[in-house]
Amino acid sequence: MSGPDLGHPLPSGAVLNGMSVDVEDWFQVGAFEHVIARGEWDGLDRRVEANCDRVLALFDEAGVKATFFTLGWVAKRHGAMMRRIAAQGHEIASHGWDHKRVFAMGEAAFAEDIARARAVLEDTSGSAVTGYRAPSFSIDARTPWAHEVLARHGYAYSSSVAPIVHDHYGWREAPRFAFRPVAGSPLVEVPVTTVELAGRRMAAGGGGFFRLLPYAVSHWAVDRVNRREGRPAAFYFHPWEVDPGQPRRTDAPLRSRFRHYTNLSAMAGKLQRLLGAFAWGRMDAVVAAEAARLDAEQVTA
Ligand SMILES: [Zn+2]
């Protein structure tokens, strides 16, 4: 059988969902950007490598291959980790250089940011990078040039859009499932998974939705997207989310602290359940299936 190495056979009729990790350290998250300056990063306790090893063990145990959207800043300092991730059959993809949001950069700075990150990611991992995820899902209505820049740089896909309204991000008008954002380009955008409930649309593909709410809610969301809509979910989490021992910042706003520190110790167990309950694979495998679907739709349209 051809196709991606899933580690275990896909039940017939099951949808292959995209599993991904946004590889950044605990101090690089948007929630702390007003209390921890980029210039301080190098003086802080780096925990990303040990946390990635825990994530790799979870994936290995579940027989799941995933995509690691990694910051160039992290790859530059953790080359051995990059080689380990790639050697275990996971996809290396880009999360930009140092977590600047796309809408805060402008077109030229964005092009520079992704080129700088990709060079280091490919150098350290020894594998080609064709996928990109914007920090904090920051490709939205303010950045009509972003997908064009990615297409021009030869990316196959992006997973950078949250088709919702959220206090930190969101592009309400974007499609909920894979689409081609640039006319005449094969570039595919796979938005983070959403569910609609009582007229409200929520980002249900990971993040706070997964960690803060009971496991059953995320299980319901993925199942609903797979079975009712027949489409793949795109799920993400962060290495710092499996690290209850990380330093506590008491100077961050209460709301940020709540979002960042709640349920860290339950996360690994929840992930184990999720990994075992559905079919998961690398984002590039999901993109290949979705691209074939988009091509078929175009032919019949
Ligand atoms: Zn991120």
The residue to which tokens 């991904």 are assigned:
20
Q: How far, in Å, from the CA of 133 to the mean position of ligand 1?
A: 8
Q: How far, in Å, from the CA of 202 to the mean position of ligand 1?
A: 19
Structural domains in the chain, sorted by start: 25-300 (3.20.20.370)
- Identify the pLDDT of residue 187: 98
Single pTM value for the model:
0.94
CA distances from 15 to 220, 221, 277 (A): 15, 14, 12
- Identify the pLDDT of residue 15: 95
In one letter, which amino acid is 297?
E
The residue to which tokens 């094969």 are assigned:
186
The 10s digit of each residue's pLDDT in 140-177 is: 999 999 999 999 999 999 999 999 877 667 888 899 99
- Identify the pLDDT of residue 208: 87
The candidate with the shortest Cα–Cα distance to 276, out of 77, 61, 116, 84, is 61
Q: Tokens for 112, please give them.
A: 């520079």
- The proportion of the chain whose per-residue pLDDT surpasses 90, expressed as a percent, equals 80
Q: How far, in Å, from the CA of 287 to the mean position of ligand 1?
A: 20
Q: Tokens for 265, please give them.
A: 């110790």
The 10s digit of each residue's pLDDT in 214-260 is: 999 999 999 999 999 999 999 999 999 999 999 988 888 888 888 88
Max CA pair span of the chain = 57
Q: How far, in Å, from the CA of 134 to the mean position of ligand 1?
A: 7
Question: What's the average model confidence in pLDDT over 80-85?
Answer: 98
The residue to which tokens 């050697």 are assigned:
87
Q: How far, in Å, from the CA of 2 to the mean position of ligand 1?
A: 32
Q: How far, in Å, from the CA of 231 to the mean position of ligand 1?
A: 24
Q: How far, in Å, from the CA of 115 to the mean position of ligand 1?
A: 17
CA 240 to CA 146: how far, in whole Å? 28
Q: How far, in Å, from the CA of 69 to the mean position of ligand 1?
A: 8
Q: How far, in Å, from the CA of 25 to the mean position of ligand 1?
A: 9
Q: How far, in Å, from the CA of 17 to the mean position of ligand 1?
A: 20
Q: How far, in Å, from the CA of 289 to the mean position of ligand 1?
A: 25
DSSP annotation string for 113-127 = HHHHHHHHHHHHH-S
Q: How far, in Å, from the CA of 95 to the mean position of ligand 1?
A: 7
CA 210 to CA 207: how far, in whole Å? 6
For 88, half-sphere exposure in the C-beta direction (CA atoms, 13 angstrom radius) is 22
- The proportion of the chain whose per-residue pLDDT surpasses 70, expressed as a percent, equals 94
**Confidence bin at 11 (pLDDT 50/70/90):** low
- Identify the pLDDT of residue 13: 62
Q: How far, in Å, from the CA of 217 to the mean position of ligand 1?
A: 23
Q: How far, in Å, from the CA of 251 to the mean position of ligand 1?
A: 21
The residue to which tokens 């091509």 are assigned:
295
Q: How far, in Å, from the CA of 228 to the mean position of ligand 1?
A: 30
The 10s digit of each residue's pLDDT in 172-205 is: 889 999 999 999 999 999 999 999 888 888 889 9
**Confidence bin at 1 (pLDDT 50/70/90):** very low
Evaluate if residue 6 carries a pLDDT over 70.
no
Q: How far, in Å, from the CA of 296 to the mean position of ligand 1?
A: 33
CA 231 to CA 218: how far, in whole Å? 15
3-state secondary structure of 19: strand
Q: How far, in Å, from the CA of 236 to the mean position of ligand 1?
A: 10
Average pLDDT of the residues of the chain:
93
Q: How far, in Å, from the CA of 263 to the mean position of ligand 1?
A: 19
CA 21 to CA 49: how far, in whole Å? 13
Q: How far, in Å, from the CA of 301 to the mean position of ligand 1?
A: 37
The dihedral sign for the CA sequence 264, 266, 73, 143: negative
Evaluate if residue 5 carries a pLDDT over 80.
no
